[in-house]
Amino acid sequence: MPTARPHAGPVVAAVSAGGALGALARHAIATAWPHRPDAFPWATWTVNVSGCLLIGVLMALVTHRWPDRRLIRPFLGVGLLGGYTTFSTSVVDVQQAVAHGAPLIALGYLGATVGGALLAVWLGAAVTESALGARR
């Protein structure tokens, strides 16, 4: 006999609410810290790297402290931090920099985004796991 699956409504609501809050936070940062198309987009880079750091923290917490809390990951991870980070905008920023005659800015930004995001998620998870006394 198949087991009943939980209703998806609460998960969809959690993702939606978190996504709205994350997107509002990202928009506020981008509005407060604009950049020219041929300049390094610090706001987008900061949002993406800080979001990845927080994703690393969250995943360590969900794994080691809150494994049974069904809506934490959808609300905070998929919703809030998914709405907050904006890797699609980083691609547009790279295209804009190249189109406005700044290919070195574009290349540096691309490398800093990928490298910074990977380092940040690893660091967030590692520091949080260490603080929790968790083993990998």
Residue 2: predicted pLDDT = 65
- 92 within some domain: yes
* pTM, full prediction: 0.90
**What are the tens digits of pLDDT across the range 26-58?**
999 999 999 999 999 999 999 999 999 999 999
Choice between 5 and 84, residue whose per-residue pLDDT is larger: 84
- 5 within some domain: no
The 10 Å Cβ neighbour count of residue 13 is 14
- 7 within some domain: no
- 1 within some domain: no
Average pLDDT, the chain: 94
- 2 within some domain: no
- 50 within some domain: yes
Long-range contacts of 20-24 (CB under 8 A, 24+ apart): 20/79, 20/83, 21/79, 21/80, 21/83, 22/79, 22/80, 22/81, 22/82, 22/83, 22/84, 22/85, 23/83, 23/84
Task: Give the pLDDT mean for 64-70.
Answer: 89
Residue 136: predicted pLDDT = 55
Task: Give the pLDDT mean for 63-92.
Answer: 94
How many Å apart are CA 89 and CA 4, to the nearest integer?
Answer: 40
Query: Per the structure, how many domains does the chain have?
Result: 1
Residue 101: predicted pLDDT = 97
Range of the domain at 87: 12-132
